[in-house]
Amino acid sequence: MDVVGIEGSVLLLDIGFVILSATILAIIARALRQPLIVAYVLAGIIIGPCGMGLITEKEVINVLAEFGIALLLFMVGLELDFRRLKDVGKVSLTCGLGQISITFIAGFLLSKYLLMNMSGYTDLWAFYVAFALTISSTMIVVKLLSDMNELDTLHGKIVLGTLLVQDIVSIIVLASLSSLDGFSPVNLISPMLNGVALVSIAIISARYIGPPTLRYVAKSTEILFLFALSWCLIFSFISLKMGFKTVTVGAFLGGVSLAIFPYNLEVISRIKSLRDFFATIFFVSLGMQITFDPKLLPLGLILSAFVLFGNVAIVMLINLLSGFRKRTSFLTAISLAQISEFSLIIVGNGVLLGHIQESMLSLVTIIAVVTITVSSYFIVHGAGFYKKMIPFLNLVERIGDHKIRELEKIPKKSSNHIILCGCHRMGKIIIETIKEMKKNYLVVDINPELVKKLIDEGVPCIYGDIGDKEILDRIDLRDAEIVISTIPNHEDNLLLIREVKKARPETIVFISEKHVDNALGLYNEGADYVIIPDIVGGERISEYMTEYITDIKGIKEARKKHIKKLEDIKREEKLGKYEYTLLKELGGRYNNESFK
Query: Which ranges constitute the DSSP H helices of 322-357?
Result: 326-335, 341-352
Q: Tell me whether residue 132 is in a domain.
A: yes
Query: Rounded to an integer, what distance in angstroms lies between the CA atom of residue 93 and that of residue 543?
Result: 45
Q: Which neighbouring-strand residues pair with 86?
A: none
Whether the CB-CB separation of 198 and 250 falls below 8 Å is answered with yes
Residues 136 and 193 in one domain: yes
**pLDDT above 90 as % of the chain:** 5
The percentage of the chain sitting over the pLDDT mark of 70, rounded to a whole number, equals 74
Say if residue 373 is in the same domain as residue 432: no
Give 144's contacts (C-beta < 8 A, 6+ positions apart). Answer: 35, 376, 379, 380
Whether 581 has a pLDDT exceeding 70, the answer reads no
pLDDT value for 233: 84
User: Would you say residue 242 lies in a domain?
Assistant: yes
Interaxial angle between packed helices 296-305 and 89-115, expressed in degrees from 0 to 180 and rounded to the nearest 10: 150
Residues 379 and 447 occupy one common structural domain: no
Query: Which pLDDT band holds residue 105 (cuts at 50, 70, 90)?
Result: very high
Q: Is the pLDDT of residue 305 over 90?
A: yes
What local confidence, expressed as pLDDT, does residue 309 receive? Answer: 92
Are 529 and 484 in contact, with CB atoms under 8 Å apart? no
Q: Which of 311, 317, 398 is nearest to 137 (CA)?
A: 311
Which residue in 184, 169, 190, 187 sits closest to 242, CA to CA?
190
Geometric angle at alpha carbon 117, from 116 and 119, rounded to 5°: 100
For residues 308-321, give the mean pLDDT: 88
The per-residue pLDDT for range 425-483, each reduced to its tens digit, is: 677 778 778 887 878 888 888 776 677 777 777 788 887 777 777 777 777 788 888 88
Nearest Cα to 90, choosing from 260, 317, 399, 322?
Answer: 322
Query: How many angstroms separate the CA atoms of 238 and 198, rounded?
Result: 8
The count of domains in the chain is 2
Q: 3-class DSSP state for residue 54?
A: coil
Domain boundary among 397, 423, 455: 397
Tell me, yes or no, whether 71 and 45 share the same domain. Answer: yes
Name the most confidently modeled range: 232-236, 413-417, 591-595.
232-236
Asked whether residue 411 carries a pLDDT value surpassing 70, the answer given is no
The enclosing domain of 468 has a CATH number of 3.40.50.720
Q: Are residues 301 and 440 in the same domain?
A: no
In a domain, 133, yes or no: yes
Is 403 domain-assigned?
A: no
**Which of residues 365, 397, 429 is at a domain's end?**
397
pTM of the model: 0.67
Mark out the alpha helices in 150-305 (DSSP H runs): 154-176, 185-204, 210-217, 221-241, 248-258, 264-288, 296-305
Of the candidates 397, 421, 448, which is a domain's last residue?
A: 397
Does 130 share its domain with 185? yes
Q: Is the pLDDT of residue 4 over 50?
A: no
Q: Are residues 231 and 348 in the same domain?
A: yes
462 located within any domain: yes
Based on the fold, state whether residues 441 and 534 are members of the same structural domain: yes
Residues 443 and 576 reside in one and the same domain:
yes
Q: Give the residue, 313 or 52, on which the prediction is more confident.
A: 313
pLDDT at 81: 58
End-to-end CA distance of the chain: 74
- 402 belongs to a structural domain: no
Which residue would you say has higher pLDDT here, 130 or 453? 130
40 and 67, same structural domain? yes
Say yes or no to pLDDT of 8 above 70.
no
Together in a domain, 175 and 320: yes
For residue 321, the enclosing domain spans 2-397
**Does 404 reside within a domain?**
no
More confident residue, 344 or 570: 344
Work out the burial of residue 266: count CB atoms within 10 Å of its CB; fewer than 13 is exposed, 13-18 middle, 19 or more buried.
Answer: middle
Indicate which CATH number applies to the domain containing 262: 1.20.1530.20
What's the pLDDT score for residue 469? 72
pLDDT band at 3 (very low <50, low <70, confident <90, very high): very low
Same domain, 253 and 374: yes
Q: Please state which of the ranges 48-52, 78-82, 444-448 shows the lowest mean pLDDT.
A: 78-82
Q: Is residue 451 part of a domain?
A: yes
Of residues 595 and 444, more confidence is placed in: 444
